[in-house]
Structure 1
Amino acid sequence: MPDESAALEAPNDPDPKKAPPQIINLPIGTIVGKKYKITHKLGEGGCGSVYKVEDTEDKTPYAMKVEFAATDSGNVLKMEVQVLTMMSSKKHVARCVASGKKKEYSYMVMTLLGESLDSIVRKHGPFLNVSSQMRIGICVLFGIKQLHDIGYLHRDLKPANVALGYKGSADERFFLVLDFGLARQFITEKQDGKKMRRPREKALFRGTARYCSVAMHDRYEQGRVDDLWSLVYMLAELRCQLPWEDVDKKDDIGNMKRVCPDSDLFAKSPVQMLEFVKIVRNTQFYHRPEYDKLYKLLEEVMINAGYKWSDLYHWESEKNKENKVAKLSKLFVGKKGATTPTKDSAEGYDPNAPPYFTVEDFTSNPLGF
Structure 2
Amino acid sequence: MATICELVQLPVGSECGRWTILKKLGEGAFGAVYLVKEKGKNDVEYALKVEAEADPLGLLKMEVAVLLEVKKQKIVRRHFLELADKGNLPGKFNYMVMTLVGKSFQDLRKSAQYNKFSMGTAISVARQSLEAVEDLHNIGFLHRDIKPGNYTIGRKEMHELRKVYMLDFGMARKFAREDGTLRNPRARAGFRGTVKYAPLACHIQREQCRKDDIESWLYMMVEMTSGRLPWRNLTEPNDVGAFKKECKTLRPRCLFGGCPREYLEIFPILDKGKFFDAPEYTAIYELLERAMVSTNRRVSL
> What percentage of aligned pairs have identical amino acids?
36
Cα offset for 1:134?
0.2
Amino acid at match of 1:243: P
| 1:333 aligned partner | none
- Aligned partner of 2:111: which letter? K
Matches within 5 A, 1:62-211: 62-70=46-54, 72=56, 75-88=58-71, 89=74, 90-103=77-90, 104-124=92-112, 125-169=114-158, 171-189=160-178, 193-211=179-197
C-alpha displacement of 1:171: 3.4
Task: State how far apart, in whole Å, the 2-side matches of 1:252 and 1:42 are.
Answer: 34
SS at match of 2:158: coil
Quote the residue 2:11 is aligned against: 27
Please give the residue correspondences for 1:180-259 in structure 2 after superposition, counting only pairs within 5 Å.
180-189=169-178, 193-238=179-224, 239-259=226-246
Shift of 1:70: 1.5
What displacement does 1:58 show? 3.1
1:297 aligns with 2:258: no
Match of 2:37?
A: 54
Q: TM-score, normalised by structure 2?
A: 0.90
Which range is displaced more, 263-272 or 152-161?
263-272
Question: How far did residue 172 of structure 1 move?
Answer: 2.7
CA 1:143–1:170: 2 relative to 1, 3 Å: farther
Secondary structure of 2:36's counterpart equals strand
Aligned to 1:267: 257
Q: Any stretches of 5+ residues in structure 1 without a counterpart?
A: 1-18, 308-369
- Matched AA of 1:101: N
Letter in 1 for 2:205: R
Q: Which amino acid aligns with 2:34?
A: Y
RMSD: 1.6
**Which whole-Å deviations, capped at 9, do the CAs of 1:103-162 have from their partners, x for residues lacking one?**
211110000110001011112242222111101100110000110011000000100001
Query: 1:232: Cα distance to partner?
Result: 0.9
Q: Is the alpha carbon distance of 1:44 and 1:222 closer, same or farther for their aligned partners in structure 2, counting shifts above 3 Å?
A: same
CA distance in 1, matches of 2:159, 2:290: 25
Post-superposition offset of 1:71: 6.0
Is the contact between residue 240 and residue 265 of structure 1 (CA under 8 Å) also seen in structure 2?
no
Q: Helix, strand or coil for the counterpart of 2:9?
A: coil
Count of residues in correspondence between the two structures = 284
Structure 2: tracts of 5 or more residues without a match: none
1:199-250 Cα offsets, whole Å, 9 max, x none, are: 0011010001110111110000000011001011011112152121100000
Give the whole-Å Cα distance in 2 for the aligned partners of 1:195 and 1:170. 40
Partner Cα separation in structure 2 for residue 169 and residue 151 of structure 1? 30
Alignment-mate amino acid for residue 83 of structure 1: V
Q: Whole-Å Cα distance in 1 between the matches of residues 291 and 55 of structure 2? A: 50
CA distance in 1, matches of 2:109, 2:5: 30
